[in-house]
Amino acid sequence: MPEDLAESVWRPPGPGLLKRERTRVQLVQAAIKVFSARGYVDATMQEIAAVAAMTTATVYNHFKTKEEVAGGVALLLADTLCRRITASQQGVEEGARRMAIGVRRYIWLAEESPHWARMMLDVSVAAPQLLIEIRDYALADLRLGVRQKAFRIPNETAAMDLINGSVSQAMRTVAHGAAPAHHGRDVAVCVLRGLGMDWAEAKAMAHRPLPPFPPMRTPS
C-alpha cells in the first residue's frame, strides 16, 4: 500500500483501548496482510491467527466467521481511505473538485498498489459495508455539487451508482494492467460529465493536480 495510506493502516492500537479492542485491531491488521497475499477466498482463519501470532481460538473469540473478519477489514480500510482523502481536500470548497479528487485517488491506489486494490475489491464483495462507509463521503460531495449547481442529476441513487460503478470498474481495469495512461483522470472526466457538467468544465476540473496528503498527526 502507498506509504501515505499505509501509516494509518499499520498504526499500533492506541494505549487507551481495552485489551480486547487492541487484540481485535491486531487481528484485523493480520487479516489485511493475509487477504493481500493470498486473496480473500483462499485465506483461512488459521493463517490470520499465525500472522497475528495468536491462536486460532483467539480469532474465533473475536470473529465467528471469515465474513466477520472481512467486515472488520472493510471498516478499517474505509476509515483510513476516507479520512486521508478528506484530509487532502481541506480548503477545497467546490463539490465537483472534491468529487474529482476522490475518484482519482481510488484509481491512483490501484495504480500504486494493484494487489491492494484487488484485495479491497474482493473484501467489498464479502463485506458490503466497505462501500457503504465510503458512500457517505462521496454522497456529501455529490450533494455539495448539486447545491452549487455544478451537478444536475435525476436522483441521488442513480448518481451514486454511476460513481461507485465507474470507480470500482476503473480500479479493476488498472489493477489488471489493462488501463491506458491517465486512466484515473479520464474516468473522473466521465464521472463529472455523467453528473451533468459540460465537457470543458469537467475536463478542466479533472485535470487539476491532485493535492498532497497532509502529514499524519502524531498521537498524543
> Where does the pLDDT of residue 14 fall: very low under 50, low under 70, confident under 90, or very high at 90 and above?
low
Query: Rounded mean pLDDT of 128-138?
Result: 86
* Per-residue confidence (pLDDT) for residue 220, from 0 to 100: 45
Query: Rounded mean pLDDT of 156-183?
Result: 96
Give the residue, 95 or 130, on which the prediction is more confident. 95
Altogether, the residues listed in the chain come to a count of: 220
Q: Which residue has the cell 486460532?
A: 56
* Per-residue confidence (pLDDT) for residue 89, from 0 to 100: 94
Over residues 172-187, the pLDDT tens digits come to 999 999 999 999 999 9
Burial 126-157 (b: 16+ CB within 10 A, else e): bbebbbebbbebbeebbebbbeeebbebeeee
Residue type, 79: D
* Per-residue confidence (pLDDT) for residue 181, from 0 to 100: 95
Percent of the chain with pLDDT over 90: 66
> Where does the pLDDT of residue 203 fall: very low under 50, low under 70, confident under 90, or very high at 90 and above?
very high
Give the residue, 72 or 189, on which the prediction is more confident. 189
Q: Which residues contact 55 (CB under 8 A, 6 or more apart)?
A: 49
Write the CA distances from 3 to 8, 41, 112, 187, 215, integer angstroms.
9, 26, 10, 24, 11
Burial 8-38 (b: 16+ CB within 10 A, else e): bbeeebeeeeeeeeebbbbbbbbbbbbbbee
Q: How far apart are CA 43 and CA 141, in angstroms?
A: 35
* Per-residue confidence (pLDDT) for residue 1, from 0 to 100: 67
pLDDT, mean over the chain:
90
Query: Rounded mean pLDDT of 132-152?
Result: 94
Catalogue all structural domains in the chain, each as residue range(s) with its CATH number. 3-206 (1.10.357.10)
Q: How far apart are CA 173 and CA 107, in angstroms?
A: 9
Q: Which residues contact 158 (CB under 8 A, 6 or more apart)?
A: none
* Per-residue confidence (pLDDT) for residue 128, from 0 to 100: 84
Count the alpha carbons within 13 Å of 2 in the hemisphere toward its beta carbon.
19
Examine the pLDDT at 21 and tell me if it is beyond 50: yes
Examine the pLDDT at 218 and tell me if it is beyond 80: no
